[in-house]
Amino acid sequence: GQNIDQPTEMTATEGAIVQINCTYQTSGFNGLFWYQQHAGEAPTFLSYNVLDGLEEKGRFSSFLSRSKGYSYLLLKELQMKDSASYLCASSDSNYQLIWGAGTKLIIKP
């Protein structure tokens, strides 16, 4: 079956670095998305990886290994506003998105 796994919750300190992992098993693969969702708000797009490697975008970077079915989102210089849920989603062979349940990131001062 199709499945996305990511940790339920993580805690990190303001100013530090945190890595949120995501493993996926989908029928075919057409890319891996990361979205940010603040409590009570809509998800917003962070990144899209379809090739292996690291994509850097400011304080946020996303990594993909297709052979391992693995991705991570790296957040640097954490700020309190980064407290949110981070959603991983894989696009399968039919271009349907399979979503993980999200990782709630708690930032402590």
Partner 1 sequence: TAGITQAPTSQILAAGRSMTLRCTQDMRHNAMYWYRQDLGLGLRLIHYSNTAGTTGKGEVPDGYSVSRANTDDFPLTLASAVPSQTSVYFCASSDSGTHTGELFFGEGSRLTVL
Q: Which residues bind partner 1 (CB under 8 A)?
A: 4, 30-31, 33, 35, 41-45, 48, 50, 87, 89, 91, 95-102
- The answer to whether 102 and 85 have CB atoms below 8 angstroms apart is yes
Nearest CB to partner 1, comparing residues 10 and 97: 97
* CB of residue 103 to partner 1, shortest distance in Å: 11
**Phi and psi, residue 82, nearest 5°:** -80, -5
* CB of residue 26 to partner 1, shortest distance in Å: 12
Nearest CB to partner 1, comparing residues 38 and 108: 38
Nearest CB to partner 1, comparing residues 70 and 99: 99
**Phi and psi, residue 78, nearest 5°:** -55, 140
* CB of residue 78 to partner 1, shortest distance in Å: 24
- Written as six digits, the tokens of 13 are 């300190």
Q: Measured between alpha carbons, how far is 42 from 55 in angstroms, rounded to an integer?
A: 24
Q: Measured between alpha carbons, how far is 102 from 84 in angstroms, rounded to an integer?
A: 10
